[in-house]
Amino acid sequence: MFYELAASSWGDEEIEAMQRVIQSGILTMGENVRRFESAFCEKFGVKHALMVSSGSTANLVGVAALFYKKQRPLQRGDEVIVPAISWSTTYYPLQQYGLKLRFVDVELDTLNMDVSKLKQALTPRTRMVMAVSILGNPCALDVLRAFCDEHDLYLFEDNCESMGATLDGRQCGTFGDIGTFSCFFSHHISTMEGGVIVTGDDETYQLAKSMRAHGWTRDLPADAEIYQKRDDDFYEAYRFILPGYNARPLELSGAIGVEQLKKLDRMIETRRRNAALFVSLFGNDERFIIQRENGGSSWFAFTVILNPKLGMDRKKIMAALKAADIGYRIITGGNFLRHDVIKYFDYDCVGEIVNADIAHDRGFFVGNHPHDLTPQIRRLHEVLDRAAR
């Protein structure tokens, strides 16, 4: 394809790292995963990083952990404020743990939660806000953090689309009580499958660590605060304390992650250079609404929404993209409320959901890669310019 939605970010280093793991014969979670976690802590300036099998299991284990905290655990029936656009597995753990979702519309330009609706979203049952930075673009994390502090709410940051993005010089994913990252193919780093949970809180980290692996005590420090170690090695070796999962990553993913992290800054610089070209071509064209950067985006992709005031036909535009061999797709998952699965959720909406529908019906995204995309972006511009006339 002339312009793919995503491209590999691997070089020889990742292949060699995998070969070393295979030769070592230790393939399940071990030293390489620990090395990746330490490198992640250093890179993002966080106290704890826990690698898991995907961004989705990072969200699942992260939400689960908050149900077992000693002080103010989440409880079934509690409410969570969520944006109307995100990936399905931002929402699933909330449903699976019996939480009620309150959907807030997004801004049409940033595509992130419209924080002017936060006050309206708050009820006496609100316990958490789900902050999602869409496609590399930081959401109003500063506002959300202050709101959560003021109302004693958890801030859960699903940063699975925005590794390396910053707001006021601070890394996205580190504003929340918990932050999650995805290392799936096409994301800012790829470990095949993989995800990371970060937190500054020892208890949350220990709960998540136990829940990552069967809810047992292995790997927890002897002085862990979430259980009392006893003096009987036989029973201690298989001691289950929490209803957890197996969300462990493979050693292969840990070893690849170590190599990918070393390249992250360079890859984001390239993504940002591609973005500068994209913005220079589309930024002042009223036919196309492109994502307005809030802070420093790590530009996962380039979104285009056909201006609803101008009545262009998306089908025609998409046919032109197809003919030009340019990949395109819905923006993240579109308006989540429009999916069949919503019938299983306990939810309501805070006011009308208008912009998420516009993004759903009139938007799409094309890829950004950690490689130079000058010819592809220029061609994209020619194709869209002609098709939208």
Ligand X SMILES: Cc1ncc(COP(=O)(O)O)c(C=O)c1O
Which active-site residues does the annotation give? 187
Q: Is 335 in the site for ligand X (CB under 6 A)?
A: no
Q: Are strands 178-182 and 154-158 parallel, antiparallel or unpaired?
A: parallel
Instruction: Work out how close the CB of 59 gets to ligand X at its nearest, in angstroms, rounded to a whole number.
Output: 6
User: Whole-angstrom Cα distance, residue 380 to residue 263?
Assistant: 27
Q: How far is the CB of 76 from ligand X (least distance, A)?
A: 22
Q: Establish if 184 lies at the interface with ligand X (CB under 6 A).
A: yes
Stretch 197-236: interaction string toward ligand X, x if CB under 6 A: ----------------------------------------
Question: With binding defined as CB under 6 A, does residue 185 bind ligand X?
Answer: no
Instruction: Answer yes or no whether residue 89 interacts with ligand X by CB under 6 A.
Output: yes
176 is a contact residue toward ligand X (CB under 6 A): no
Nearest to 32 by CA among 250, 254, 256, 253: 254
Q: Is 166 in the site for ligand X (CB under 6 A)?
A: no
Please say whether the beta carbons of 339 and 318 come within 8 A: no
- Quick note: the x/- pattern for ligand X over 110-149, rule CB under 6 A, is ----------------------x-----------------
The least distance separating ligand X from the CB of residue 162, rounded to whole angstroms, comes to: 8
Within positions 268 to 327, which residues make up the interface with ligand X, using CB under 6 A? Answer: none
Yes or no: say if 90 and 159 are a contact pair by the CB < 8 Å rule.
no
Among 112, 137, 171, 182, indicate the residue that binds ligand X (CB under 6 A). 182
Query: Around 194, how many Cα atoms within 13 Å sit in the side-chain half-sphere?
Result: 28
Under the criterion CB under 6 A, does residue 90 sit at the interface with ligand X?
yes
**Smallest distance, Å, CB 190 to ligand X?**
10
56 binds ligand X (CB under 6 A): yes
Contacts to ligand X by CB under 6 A: 54-56, 59, 86-87, 89-90, 132, 158, 160-161, 182, 184, 195, 332
